[in-house]
Amino acid sequence: MTNTWHELRSKNIGGSDIAALFGESPYSTLYKLWHEKRGLIEPDSLDDVERIQAGNYLEKAIIEWANDKWGYDFYQPQEYVEHATVNGMACTPDAYLESYTSVMSQVKNVDSLQFYDKWEYEGDLIVKCPIHILLQVQHEMECCGRKTSVLIVAVGGNRLYKMECKADPEIAAILRCKVMEFWLMDEAPEPDFKKDSNSIRELRNKMRMDKQEDYSNDKDFYKMLKKATKLKHQIKVKQDELDLLESEIYYLSADNQEIRCNNIRVSYSKRKGTPDKVITADDVGKTIKGRKPSSSMKITMEEIAI
């Protein structure tokens, strides 16, 4: 993937992004996407994820397999398409049908356990698929001006399924409105503290954290800190519940390095990240992955003169 492609993606809502605008993405959230598109946090790097690599390498073979099985003549256009009238809306189409210019395709390589659990099919025809896939297919038809998309799915490396989807004008209108609303959002949306924990921490790592503030008048914040303190001292920690609380505390703490709330103190420390390093001599070309900046939080209950 080229730097130009990454730059284009940063300025547009693509097919893999669109479901996040509806709260239907299994991979992202509106909060995360808002900060990524504005350059405030780094998007997840998928270049080293084997599942993504497999999909990229197998896409051409899956298209050829589908052409042979069902008599199609799909080809890969190798292009990035920006919407004709909506700024900030685009996609990378997987395939176009050569014989009918109104038809395109979305190609997926799906794990068999995921497919048989979350998809429905009759023979080799898919009758129901996850909502985020449908949103992506409609998004891409709208961007490319196509009327039909054939969703082609390779399952477990040995079965091929398909689903024909028609462009829906009502859905297309909703997609256009959602994308335009997204780019007009001057303020970040509220986070989902369970799903956005990493994004909240990444944002905090970029803050100066040189302030101290007294939150003693915030009764809800005090209750939250007391609950977090209690959870931390339990013999069997309810980690999921504690993680959720700590995400909210991180978020509400803004850019403070230390917070005092009645008899509870919250302090934060940061650790600088390190860049990737290319090794020379015997290991020429190998890269040691860098370390992202990180922060830690310490909650202590103590006697503080107030």
The residue that leads in pLDDT, 218 or 47, is: 218
Distance separating alpha carbons of residues 234 and 16, to the nearest angstrom: 41
Average pLDDT over residues 179-190: 97
pLDDT of residue 252: 93
SS (H, E, C) 15-74: CCCHHHHHCCCCCCCHHHHHHHHCCCCCCCCCCCCHHHHHHHHHHHHHHHHHHHHHCCCE
Task: Give me 105's structure tokens.
Answer: 């395709």
The residue that leads in pLDDT, 109 or 296, is: 109
Contact 267, 257 (CB under 8 A): yes
Distance separating alpha carbons of residues 234 and 33, to the nearest angstrom: 35
Q: 277: which DSSP letter?
A: E
The domains of the chain are located at 3-183, 200-301
pLDDT greater than 60 at residue 304: no
HSE-CB at 118 with a 13 A cutoff on CA atoms is 13
pLDDT in tens, 47-104: 555 666 666 778 999 999 999 999 999 999 999 999 999 999 999 999 999 999 999 9
E strand or H helix that includes residue 219? helix 219-232
The position carrying tokens 């008899």 is 263
pLDDT of residue 207: 82
The residue that leads in pLDDT, 157 or 120, is: 120
Q: Specify the fold of 3-183.
A: Lambda Exonuclease; Chain A (3.90.320)
pTM of the model: 0.85
pLDDT greater than 80 at residue 106: yes
Q: Is 31 exposed, middle or buried (0-12, 13-18, 19+ CB in 10 A)?
A: buried
